[in-house]
Chain A
Amino acid sequence: MQGTDQEEVLKHLLRIISGGGSLELEGVTFSAEELSISLSDLSAIRAVTGEVPVPAVTEGIELLEWQPPRRTYPGKIGEVVLGSTRGDGGSRVKSVTIGGATTPAFHLFEGSEPHPPVVAGSVFDMVPPLPGPVKSSFGDAVEDPCAWAKAWVDRYGADLIDLDLISTDPYIKDTPVKRAVNLVEDLLQTVDVPLIIGGSGNPEKDAKLLPKVAEVCAGERILLSSATMDMWEPVAKAAQQYNHVALAWSPIDINQAKELNRKLLGYLPMDQIVMDPTSAALGYGLEYSFSVMERIRLAGLMGDRDLQCPQASGTANSWGAREAWKRDDYLGPREYRGPLWEATGALAFLLAGVDLFIMVHPGAARTVEDIVGWLVDGRNLPTFPEFIGVGK
């Protein structure tokens, strides 16, 4: 596809997600009100009705008393602040708080979620094998991680940026720690949102890299990604020393997640740990991730201290599914199918209890943000007894 076509598709896609043709991407900023008006026009559809208006009378029905189900949970998910503003010794323009839930995800009848889940836009320190629809969303910016991050923030309004230093892997490019850390410093100058900085996943290299990253980010309260069962101590110590947050990664295994948290809790307080129980792709084991996330959230609410950390999802894994990126006429245009694949995975994890999404496609990210926004607006609705009332 040529550059201009790609732009067209992307524009169209964002138009899709924002509900109509009212949104222009480049050189135009749009206000939140404009956006929410067009969105609600699109979709404020209560139900069927076309033919018959919702009736005012309930003929011949005896209205029965009903006690709605209510449950309280002894535990509470911890709150974690990411990013530190100037007033707090950092240089971020804002900080983001996640967690704090007192109910299963979006059990709105049992209580509200104090902090809506958020989305971080993902960038890499080298051009990884990116699916076409992702590449075309950023164009040449993918060649330069700072430009890529800037596009996320300026064009797509990302609340956080995740930079993964994958090229540091000795089996990829073996980029020296010093050079990787320089890039992190550049990124701190380029964008002013809270940051997630990840290593390559190579335990030996990460053990050297992540403490240095923590050092240059001192005071910024980044999310340091990630601590694993065989490489957690350097991350825990670095987070402790420089007051960052550690991301605890476990491979779809609630017991390992618990064990790792317990180790980290030896160094760090609850408000410096976020857990990532692994997000398998839609169609490739999503249900295992979904159930582990649900179980973690419930266990935390039932009072298991070791599972009360907020959860993060590397939703970008969705693109591992060939259905997301493959060109295939039978499956329809991948420019829509791919980002919808990522969004669908995220929605499943959202309803399982994830607090922080790390995503690669801006359209998918936007969908999650809109849906979270709508769900959260429910808090401003009349309190529960009235809104299920008969007179409605």
Chain B
Amino acid sequence: MPKKKLGPMNLYPLLPKTNCGECGPKTCMGFAVQLTERNLGIDQCPPIADPKYQVQLSRIRELLAPPVREVVIGTGPRKVRVGGELVMRRHELRYFNQTAIATLVSDDMLPDQVQAKVKETEAFRYPYIGSTLTLDAIAVRSVTGDPASFRNTVKTVREATELPLILWSFDPRVIAAGLEAAAGHRPLIYAANVENWQEMAGLARDAGCPLALFVPDDIRTIRSLAASVRAAGVEDLLLDVGCGFSESLPSTINDLTEIRTAAVNEGDSLLGYPIIGSPATLWEKRNSESDETIRWMESCLASMMVIRYVDLLMVRDASMWSILPLVVLRANLFNDPRKPVSVEPGLRTFGNPDPDRSPVLITSNFALTYYTVLADIEKLDCYLMVADTEGLSVDSAVAGRKLNAQKVADIILSTGIEGLARHRTLIIPGLAARLKGDIEDATGWDVMVGPRDSAGIPAFLKEKWEGKDHTPGWSYR
């Protein structure tokens, strides 16, 4: 049954219609709009908690339930939420819970190796526009088949980190041992298949843990398995249909896309679960390839899987060069497309600029460009003019004529920078080099071409600016 798109008019009749404003919006209609856009949750409406609205409340919850179930793995501040997605494509609204990424340890590793691997995963940090990109979980895999070694490895990991755990084995005895060592921490059990599912479902139900289902390349069977496991009392499921490169790649991309299409566009609740995938399995069929070979492939496969709806990924290592592109891609795709792309144009002042000695820089008002430049210059004494490039980066703005001499002349006037910087010298981004002559003609200012990347600004100033005479008359003008 195709799922109808939820609109505020589906929700409004069920709300208390008190227009009390306690939720934020002034009216219940306004609240209904915010609910459909997922900016507010139903818990933000105090009146509806009244028992007389019980029927309405449960109907609202039903209507708001995302077509892809949200599943929580782990406990405490580091727990991760996966799934909970509403749309196939980010421009339709936004993606919500970013793909969680786990690294892998196995039970044949020595405790200090396990600890080192956990530490490496925790240490994976990359500052990125106002936040820090990190990895999210540790998968512990049984390769010995021995419950005791699995229990010990899980225990070692548990003691080393608060990150959520994934317990990886197809042997229910091994999983049971792992669950003992991770009791109370809500690990993900990976995985139930068509053979072991009854025992696995029992373990998941009794421990109150989420359970992944694994049926390679067979959507009909994994869907049927989901129905059976659900009937056995486990609701928090994840789906794994396998992944691979080479001749497996078409079915990988196809199955992932088809599952999410069925869930979101058709409202198929048996496929409406988060998807888990393990590019880490590329390491298994290794012949004589170098580590770098496999890392490269693993990263490419993982990136394609992030784009194609996978909610939880297992990679082998926290290898910076190969995993950084993946986590940045993830951050990009899960960025809220409704957020403005641009910042307010105008003048920004950093430190205590001096009218004769402090440089004047200019950049675009594309948020990513602006914040990147900001991070590079905020400790300097300088002025930064933010031009209204309609949210385009410098190179696109120059190519698209959104940054041109006239724009620069206008901003020089509107910011009153002439009264602040007597030297009348402007440093433009290297990517706008071709505007130099036009700007000089249009403004009467001197123009210096700065570096192509704002990371080079401090070095550029040291070399080309500091100690030079910038009082009026310094230049040929």
Interfacial residues, chain A to chain B (CB-CB below 8 A): 12, 15-17, 19-21, 39-52, 54-55, 57-64, 66, 68-69, 71, 106-109, 129, 169-172, 200-203, 228-230, 249-252, 278, 280, 282-288, 290-291, 294-295, 298, 317, 320, 322-323, 326, 330-334, 336-337, 340-341, 343-344, 347-348, 351, 367, 371, 374-375, 377-379, 381, 387-390, 392
**Interface residues as binary, B397-437 with A (CB distance below 8 Å gives 1, 0 otherwise):** 11111100000000000000000000000000000011111
Interface assignment of B262: CB less than 8 Å from any CB of chain A? yes
**Structural contact, B224 and A64, CB atoms closer than 8 A:** yes
- Please name all residues of chain A whose beta carbon is closer than 8 Å to the beta carbon of B325 when the two chains form the complex: 282, 323, 337, 340-341, 344
Q: B322 CB to closest chain A CB, in angstroms?
A: 6
Q: What 7 additional pairs, Cβ within 8 angstroms, besides A68-B219, A332-B319? A: A44-B245, A44-B285, A46-B217, A46-B248, A51-B145, A331-B324, A378-B250
Q: Are A286 and B224 in contact (CB under 8 A)?
A: no
Asked if B176 lies at the interface with its beta carbon under 8 angstroms from chain A, I say no
- A333: nearest residue on chain B (CB-CB)? B321
Asked whether B399 lies within 8 Å of A371 as measured between CB atoms, the reply is no
Q: Which of B90, B224, B285, B329 contacts A344 (CB 8 A)?
A: B329
Residues of B within 8 A of A (CB): 89-91, 128, 142-143, 145, 169-171, 191, 193-198, 214, 216-221, 223-225, 227-228, 240-251, 253-255, 257-258, 261-262, 265-266, 268, 270, 278, 281-282, 284-290, 292-297, 299-300, 303-304, 307-308, 319-322, 324-326, 328-329, 331-333, 335, 337, 341, 366, 368-369, 372, 392-393, 395-402, 433-437, 452-453, 455
Bound CA–CA A249/B398 (angstroms): 13
Contact B242 A331 (CB under 8 A): no
Tell me the bound Cα distance from A332 to B291 in angstroms: 14
Contact (Cβ within 8 A) A340 B216: no
Partner of A172, one of B282, B398, B433: B433
- Asked if A351 contacts B251 (CB within 8 A), the reply is no
Tell me the nearest residue of chain A to B435, going by C-beta: A171
Contact of B399 among A41, A249, A348, A390 (CB under 8 A): A249
Complexed CA–CA distance, A64 and B240 (Å): 18
Task: Give Cα A96 to B244, complex, Å.
Answer: 29
Known: A44-B244, A44-B285, A347-B307. A252 touches B396 (CB 8 A): yes
Q: A282 contacts B328, CB within 8 Å?
A: yes
* Neighbouring B residues of A285 by C-beta, 8 Å: 332, 341, 366, 368, 393
CA distance A124 to B243 in the complex (A): 39
B293, B368, B436, B455: residue with the most chain A Cβ atoms closer than 10 Å: B293
Distance between Cα atoms of A348 and B330 in the complex (Å): 11
B-chain residues with CB within 8 Å of residue A320 when the two chains form the complex: 395, 453
Cβ contact of B337, chosen from A51, A291, A336, cutoff 8 A: A291
Residues on the A chain within 8 Å of B398, using CB: 201
Contacting residues, chain B, for A64 (C-beta < 8 A): 220, 223-224, 227, 270
Q: How far is the CA of A303 from the CA of B245 in the complex (A)?
A: 33
A347 shortest CB reach to chain B, Å: 5
Smallest Cβ-Cβ distance to A367: which chain B residue: B300
Q: How far is the CB of B371 from chain A (nearest CB, A)?
A: 10
User: Is the Cβ of B228 less than 8 Å from the Cβ of A60?
Assistant: yes
Q: Would you call B293 and A42 a contact (CB within 8 A)?
A: yes
Contacts of B287 in A (CB 8 A): 20, 41-42
With A171-B434, A280-B393, A378-B249 already in contact, the answer to whether A69 and B322 are too (CB < 8 A) is no
Contacts of A251 on B, CB cut-off 8 Å? 392, 396-397, 399-400, 402
- With A and B bound together, what is the CA distance between A44 and B250 in angstroms? 12
Measured in the bound complex, the distance between the Cα atoms of B142 and A16 in whole Å is 29
Considering the chains assembled together, what is the distance between the CA atoms of A249 and B262 in angstroms?
35
Q: Which of A20, A43, A171, A351 has the most CB of B within 10 A?
A: A43
Whether A42 pairs with B245 at a CB distance below 8 angstroms is: yes
24 A–B contacts, CB within 8 A, in A order: A42-B289, A43-B245, A43-B248, A45-B281, A48-B242, A51-B142, A52-B193, A58-B224, A60-B198, A64-B224, A66-B223, A68-B219, A69-B258, A69-B262, A108-B250, A109-B261, A280-B396, A287-B335, A288-B337, A322-B455, A326-B455, A333-B321, A340-B321, A340-B325
* Chain A residue nearest to B454 in the complex (CB): A322
The reply to whether B90 and A291 contact each other, CB–CB distance below 8 Å, is yes
Nearest CB on B from A304, distance (A): 15
Q: A39-B246, A66-B223, A294-B89 are in contact. Are A283 and B332 (CB under 8 A)?
A: yes
* Residues in B neighbouring A109, C-beta threshold 8 A: 254, 257-258, 261
Contact B296 A16 (CB under 8 A): yes
A337-B198 in contact (CB<8A): no
The answer for the CA separation of A287 and B366 in the assembled complex, in Å, is: 13
Q: How far is the CB of A369 from chain B (nearest CB, A)?
A: 12
Please determine whether B217 and A387 come into contact, CB atoms closer than 8 angstroms: yes
Identity of the chain B residue whose Cβ is nearest the Cβ of A368 in the assembled complex: B300
Please, how many angstroms separate the alpha-carbon atoms of A334 and B300 in the complex? 16
Per the bound structure, the CA–CA distance linking A348 and B308 in Å amounts to 10
Please give me the residue from chain A that is nearest to B263 by CB atom.
A69
Inter-chain contact A43/B297, CB cutoff 8 Å: yes
Q: Is the CB of A169 within 8 A of B245?
A: no
In whole angstroms, what is the CA distance A59 to B262 when docked?
Answer: 25
A282 touches B400 (CB 8 A): no
Q: How far is the CA of A150 from the CA of B392 in the complex (A)?
A: 35
A45 in contact with B244 (CB, 8 Å): yes
